Chains A and B, each alone.
Chain A
């Protein structure tokens, strides 16, 4: 028997009798250091053990979908930056993908490559940020977070020098990309990507073998594969449970089939697996990026037939999805031939991955709930829209 016995999932006391005392209901959030924004968990505690957890969100609701239905297709593009504000490149791409599907717009090769480069850089940004925050939730004094931010900032500097903004890139357009990176930019990005594994190695040396990390995360917040599939969970959270489902492979979004990369799979579906999925995916992203920088073709980055303004797709519907760093990000659009979408709907991975939070947290302590939430990787801009 281990001295730190792994929690065996929901072992919730059914009876709250006189001998066991009262339950304590704590409203964690919306102002709480570890709810990653204005998220709230109404937690019912038995001592420190969670017997009930109710997620409450909507504090950051901005009416994104309705606004998008009342503005032109192009005007929604900057708003998609604000959905998952850590990964504006992929949200831009997913939206552009949906619109391109709707209007049958072609995308030139170079733009396809650039999109993959940006998406994988975004994955590095998101995952390094996530593991940093996860360790903050685990109680480090910001050290891993700041190491991660140091590397993330270098990528954000690249984004800034390319698109003008660190996080609100507004980079993709229907039929291509907005700006063509200069050779110097590509060289700088390539050098950064080549150096990135050194950061990962150091990070792993620092933390992956740490006994406290192992004890705090292994066996915590288990998620069974069948359960995850039923709930529609996607992305690294699903793959940590051992389900081989990566839209880059399944759909072959864009030019992904041209690249060699592997999809890491977890076996236990616990917090440690979810953490390791991110680390391993970052290593795969580095591989994709290195291939992309080597094989980036010359050519236009915009389809010459693309229209910036006065864009009226013919009536119809389209669903564009791709593997965002957090999971399946989809945009569903219905056009009635007018300049505005008739219906605009986002499938945010953060929200759908959040649905099983209670199941993952039951039976664990309040300290674990924070860590489990951190390992799901939510961004409230995307959850609340």
Chain B
């Protein structure tokens, strides 16, 4: 690997800054300050990222829908300065905090209160193991991937708590949907990542990101998404990640047109904002994992672009993923709950299992060179494409655009 630009000042700047601050404290406290700083950094960076994701979502959705989006909020005392409405999230935050917190009289007070707390806490845990840059990884865990998924499981539990604790029929239906959705999509989500673990032979996010380094001819990155199994895995991951984070077209628990706001029906003010925050934290964390596992993590796409610090690459890819999710949300319809679970069990899971075999094939044939390499590509592609077509045809059997007759 080239060592030319990787150790630039910018690359190490966050670490140097952290060490500079830590150096001001007595040695006995340094470990604590070190960790606290890491936590603060994550909270600040991703708190702001969340804030600007909300405004980006509103503005991008607006543009997709041929609207302008929020562009009014500026700064207090500077009336003429509009700032393209970029201060909107802060206005929203103030609004959310100052709104009345309504708890239904018959609600389960404990669960109703606990749900937003739990969901935010757990949705933040996932950030601990994501390698944001070459040297920026909050906690280096050997079983990081496993940790990530374990941390994410509690969020749907919190949705259940919110839904059941609200004592609202819509909320209850949403809670049931959330449970069904979790059980269905946890599996394809994990199965989509397993091939990467199989090929790289590690569960550590740092090593997985490192394993995708290097370029062919300096321009073609060795990211997993550029292999047949990696591409298939990435697609499955995308679908499952959408479902895990309750995003359209899988936003069934809070299906606005059916269940009003689902589990959020009885929440108001800051608690509602917490749920909202957790949804975006979860989405961001899952996108971060997808980037780490499939999109080369913090690696630059071309060798000559390495002078840009790795953490900037990571954040750039993250922003790209978020934009893609917003685009999806602006286009697609919602699935029905039975179709949702069918899609998971009868399409994604078999495909993911086949893809696992595909990755095993890829790992076993790593020695094939020359024309054999082409054959390796062809076979690997066939292993995912053929089942995709067959399963896809089964999935959409009986559904087709129709032609219509006209009265004579």
In the assembled complex, B256 has its CB within 8 A of some CB on chain A: yes
Give residues 1-30 of A contacting B (CB, 8 Å). Answer: 1-6, 24, 26
A142–B330 alpha-carbon span in the complex (Å): 8
Query: Do the beta carbons of A33 and B407 come within 8 Å of each other?
Result: no
Fill in one digit per residue for A342-385: 1 if any B CB lies within 8 Å of its CB, else 0.
00000000000000000000000111101000000000000000
Residues on B with C-beta less than 8 A from A1 are 397
A280–B257 alpha-carbon span in the complex (Å): 26
Interface size class for chain B? Answer: 35 or more
**A138-B257 contact, Cβ under 8 Å, with A146-B67, A209-B401, A367-B337:** yes
The bracket for how many chain A residues form the interface is 35 or more
Q: How far is the CB of A133 from chain B (nearest CB, A)?
A: 9
- Residue of A26, A47, A142 near B170 (CB, 8 A) is A26
User: How far is it, in angstroms, between the C-alpha of A214 and the C-alpha of B396 when the chains are bound?
Assistant: 9
Interface hit among A95-103, A110-118, A174-182, A265-273:
A265-273
Q: Of B75-83, B115-123, B234-242, B247-255, which stretch is located at the interface?
A: B247-255
Contact between chains at A140 and B335 (CB < 8 Å): no
Q: How far is the CA of A136 from the CA of B257 in the complex (A)?
A: 7
- Mark A204-218 against chain B: 1 for CB-CB distance below 8 A, else 0: 001111111111101
Q: Do the beta carbons of A139 and B401 come within 8 Å of each other?
A: no
A138–B170 Cα distance when bound, in Å, is 17
Q: Which residues on A sit within 8 Å (CB–CB) of B401?
A: 208-209, 214
CB within 8 A of B407: which of A3, A140, A246? Answer: A246
Residues 41-88 (chain B) with a chain A CB within 8 angstroms: 61, 64-67
B residues in contact with A366, CB < 8 Å: 173, 258-259
Any chain A CB within 8 A of the CB of B40? no
User: With a CB–CB cut-off of 8 A, which chain A residues contact B106?
Assistant: none
Q: Which of A34, A215, A216 has the most CB of B within 10 A?
A: A215
Partner of A212, one of B332, B346, B407: B332
Q: Is A150 an interface residue (CB 8 A)?
A: yes
Tell me if B109 is interfacial: C-beta within 8 Å of chain A.
Answer: no
- Kindly state whether residue A55 has any CB partner on chain B within 8 Å: no
- B337 pairs with A6, CB closer than 8 A: no
Q: Verify B400–A214 contact, CB threshold 8 A.
A: yes
Contact at B249–A2, with CB atoms within 8 Å?
no
Cβ of B35 under 8 Å from chain A: no
Q: In the assembled complex, which residues on chain A have CB atoms less than 8 Å from the CB atom of B337?
A: 48, 365, 367
> Considering the complex, which residues of chain A in the window 238-293 have a beta carbon less than 8 Å from any beta carbon of chain B?
244, 246, 249, 262-268, 272-273, 276, 280
How far, in angstroms, from A312 to B287 measured CA to CA in the complex? 73
Partner of A215, one of B169, B251, B335: B335
B338 at the interface (CB under 8 A from A): yes
Q: Which residues of B, 164-178, contact A by the 8 Å Cβ criterion?
A: 169-170, 172-173, 176
Residues of B close to A311: CB separation below 8 A: none
- The answer to whether the Cβ of A73 comes within 8 Å of any Cβ in the partner chain is no
What is the CA–CA distance of A370 and B323 in the complex, to the nearest angstrom?
30
Pairwise interchain contact B405-A135, C-beta atoms closer than 8 A: no
In the complex formed, the residue of A with least CB distance to B408 is: A244
Asked whether A62 is an interface residue with its Cβ less than 8 Å from the other chain, the reply is: no
A140 to B260, CA, bound (A): 14
Please pick, from A26, A45, A141, the residue contacting B61 in the complex, using a CB distance under 8 A.
Answer: A141
The answer, among A33, A141, A215, A263, for a CB contact under 8 Å with B339, is A215
A147, CB-defined interface residue at 8 Å: yes
B interface residues with partner A (beta carbon < 8 Å): 61, 64-67, 169-170, 172-173, 176, 248-249, 251-252, 255-260, 329-339, 342-343, 346-347, 394-402, 404-408
11 contacts between A and B (CB under 8 A): A4-B342, A34-B258, A48-B176, A139-B255, A213-B333, A214-B396, A265-B404, A273-B402, A276-B404, A365-B337, A370-B257
